[in-house]
Structure 1
Amino acid sequence: MNNENVAKENILFLGSKMHACNMTDTVFAIEERIILKEFTQHCVVNVAKLINMQTDNILKESVESCDIVNIDGMGVVWGARFCGHKVPERVAGVDLFHRLLAMSSDNQFPVFLLGATDDVVSLTAKKVKEQNPDLIIAGFHNGYFWDDEQLVIDKIRNSGARLLFVAITSPKKENFINRWKEQLGVDFVMGVGGTFDVVAGKVKRAPIWMQNAGLEWLYRVMQEPGRMWKRYLITNSKYLMLLLKERFFKKT
């Protein structure tokens, strides 16, 4: 899959552009763009992000500025298919993160890890280095730097990193990346949300069968029922209404 084919996989779903690519093609396209030193701003979309983009214009602009937008979340996969789009599979952000680290290790592309707490990001750096012994970690920094963003930007740019992974919550990570992209000095930047917490073992990921069944959201509710049930109830209800409108009432 080359850069031209990335554009061919572009779809418009619920007013948002995204790429209906599989994991292998995504990694190959990103690798090719990095080799060519073609800057790539990347993000993934899930149901919650799609819903927030309906009312958050800054987030919508940040996502639309991305060169590659993968579909993360079986809810979006099924919804897009329901509305007539051909989506081969889900490209989960945490899985793509690991695939890109392996690719970076093979190519000797230095990476920078940004986000989470000091303990989590340092443990993440240690663990991914153990998993990929040849990986070059250009640097890492916690996600609590909002009093002096320029200092962190300078650190990233001076590190020599080719790839930057930003583990900050949405919409802060998307807006941060879009705001500073021209000063980062990297060839690829991707928001990875809570991935560092998963890698460091602070948060458990849903079992494979629940991932495949599109039930990761339910697993999160089971872990934090008091905080999550209302959020998912409201988000999923809004999403269902948007799907029905897109499928049956959208003008062609």
Structure 2
Amino acid sequence: MNKRVKFLNTYVDALTMDETLEKIQEYIENKACIQHVVINAGKVNLMQENEELTQIVNECPLINADGQSIVWGSKFLGNKLPERVAGIDIFTELVRISSEKGYKPYFFGAKEEVVEEVVRRFKEKYPNLEVAGYRNGYFSQEESKKIAEDIQKSGADILFVAFSSPMKEFWIREHMDIMKVPFTMGVGGSFDVVAGKTTRAPKWMQKLGLEWFHRFIQEPRRMFKRYIVGNWKFIRLIISQKCMGNTSK
């Protein structure tokens, strides 16, 4: 059983990266068919306004702290998490593990040229990787069921869904029973990073919790509301919780 701590209106599993990867492999080997989620400041903000998203996240058997802000915020509220476990790092590590253990990943999302480049780069890096399939993230609601059925037929062991939140959480939950994939996770904009369309912050910025700022300066107009407005909203939530005397234990 994971050690799970309360954080505002959600939870976080107090696991390291190695412990998380070990747990995921257990799910895959047991054909568990679970939905995985990571939380960061932006998702926590969305969850304050969206009860359906909150329910989906809280029902996931594995919830990781994607943002350094979650680690710091949890400590401020009285719970210490061992480390940040970023979604993009889980994603890339699972692809590596898949090449070693014979798991078959399916890549779903982003533009066609992006997802094709993701598959090409991973196959180049891991020649033994057996890709179950891939598809871009542009489709109508009427196509959703057929896409889910195709994923099921592919025999995928892992599904990576590169949509934004909360669309990816909703879509995964709605189609899990059709897809029957042992482990499914949303990876947001990770395909763009792997394909070289966007860059990831250097390690020193990641350690200082400034990865959001690196993303912001790449697309300041598009990311202003998400990061500048959103980060201030998140800080207010944490301070408000602390002032209420609730340490989230």
Shorter chain as denominator, the TM-score bin is: over 0.9
Tell me what 2:152 maps to.
Answer: 157
Q: CA RMSD in A?
A: 1.3
Tell me what 1:178 maps to.
Answer: 173
Distance 2:32 2:169 in 1: 19
Q: How does 1:1-252 map to 2 (within 5 A)?
A: 4=1, 6=2, 9-147=3-141, 148-251=143-246
Q: In 2 relative to 1, CA 227–77 (structure 1 residues): closer, same or farther, beyond 3 Å?
A: same
Distance 2:224 2:109 in 1: 26
TM-score, length of structure 1 as denominator length: 0.94
- Higher mean C-alpha deviation, range 30-39 or range 197-206: 30-39
Please state whether the residue corresponding to 2:132 is helix, strand or coil: strand
For 1:88, give the aligned amino acid.
P
Q: Which structure ranks higher in relative contact order (CA pairs < 8 Å, sequence separation ≥ 6)?
A: 2
Q: Percent identity?
A: 42
Please state whether the residue corresponding to 1:112 is helix, strand or coil: strand
Please state whether the residue corresponding to 1:11 is helix, strand or coil: strand
For 1:223, give the aligned amino acid.
Q
**1:145–1:152 contact (8 Å) kept in structure 2:** no
For 1:245, give the aligned amino acid.
S
Distance 2:222 2:181 in 1: 36
TM-score, length of structure 2 as denominator length: 0.95
**2:42–2:226 contact (8 Å) kept in structure 1:** no
**2:33–2:180 contact (8 Å) kept in structure 1:** no
Please state whether the residue corresponding to 1:99 is helix, strand or coil: helix
Shift of 1:251: 4.4
- Please, which runs of 5 or more residues in structure 1 have no aligned partner? none
Q: How many matched pairs?
A: 246
For 2:62, give the aligned amino acid.
I
Q: Which runs of 4+ in 1 moved over 6 A?
A: none
